[in-house]
Amino acid sequence: MGGPALVLRNLNKAITRPDRDPFIIFRDINLSVSDGEFVSIVGPSGCGKTTLLRVINGLMPHSGGEILIDGRSAHEVDNELVMGFVFQGASLLPWRTSLKNVVLGLEGRNNNAKEAERTAQKFLDLVGLSGFETHYPHELSGGMQQRVNLARALAVDPRILLMDEPFAALDAQTRNFMQLELLRIWRETKKTVIFVTHMIAEAILLSDRVIVFSHRPGSIRSEVNVPLPRPRTMEMKSDPRFLELEHVLWKQIEEEVNASGGFSQM
């Protein structure tokens, strides 16, 4: 891993409300993510994890602080060229084939049609969907739809890949398979990844480092390095180091949930 691809300094997000105090979503976020690093964010529901990704991507403005990409202010770079976003839902256009859905992200970027299709095909191959180029979303399983979603994000060659619970809607078996596929794709593409999840085991399996958010207003409670070697395998979930880290992270999140008023507030 190289120098920082992304630096957040005292980042804040609040929503102003007439005749009331601002609603603070997160505050004082300080985080440095190295080039090629895989970082996961976990924490109680409603603590601002997804909002943080949207702020980093420029989909929402921040209320204070600074976002640096390769040492430059985010205001000086085109977020559409440096960020890829994989949403929780596949969000595919139902009237477009797999290939045309991936091409969608390349349209308007001075790519000629043939070159865009070649690029889209390359990333469909990368995510294991060779032979499904002409299939429409309704002809694909949930896992396959998310593969198209991931291919679309990767096709624009983003500097940083933001992933918001991309496997949340999948069954357990498909989710496990997609985790291993994501690890393979990450090794091949060497992208910097920030991954939001509610599953502690998923965060540990995938990540170099896990960030734990506090309850709202969200702040960074802890940063934990994952001491497991790569490449990762499902068998590592029974490794004592994995189990110990899972216990530590769960206790921290449990404390934050209790501090927020308990599970009834999730």
Determine the structural domain holding residue 35 and report its residue range.
4-91+158-265
Percentage with pLDDT > 70 across the chain? 95
The reported pLDDT for the residue numbered 87 is 87
Dihedral sign of CA atoms 34, 39, 42, 48 in order: positive
- pLDDT tens for each residue of 188-244: 999 999 999 999 999 999 999 999 999 999 999 999 999 999 999 999 999 999 999
122 within some domain: no
96 within some domain: no
Structure-block tokens of residue 260: 């927020």
128 within some domain: no
241 within some domain: yes
CB proximity list for 248: less than 8 A, separation 6 or greater = 224
pLDDT confidence bin for 86, thresholds 50/70/90: very high
> What is the pTM (predicted TM-score) of this model?
0.92
Residue linked to tokens 């690029």 = 119
**DSSP codes, 223-244:** EEE----SS--GGGGGSHHHHH
Helix and strand element counts for the chain (H, E)? 8, 10
230 within some domain: yes
CB proximity list for 65: less than 8 A, separation 6 or greater = 8, 9, 10, 11, 12, 28, 29
The CATH number assigned to the domain holding 245 equals 3.40.50.300
The reported pLDDT for the residue numbered 265 is 42
pLDDT confidence bin for 161, thresholds 50/70/90: very high
186 within some domain: yes
Instruction: Give how many domains the chain has, as a whole number.
Output: 1
55 within some domain: yes
The mean per-residue pLDDT over the stretch 249-261 comes to 92
The mean pLDDT value of the chain amounts to: 91
- Whether residue 263 is predicted with pLDDT greater than 60 in this model: the reply is no
- Whether residue 1 is predicted with pLDDT greater than 60 in this model: the reply is no
Burial 132-152 (b: 16+ CB within 10 A, else e): bbebbbeebebbbbbbbbbbb
The reported pLDDT for the residue numbered 3 is 73
- pLDDT tens for each residue of 28-66: 999 999 999 999 999 999 999 999 999 999 889 999 999
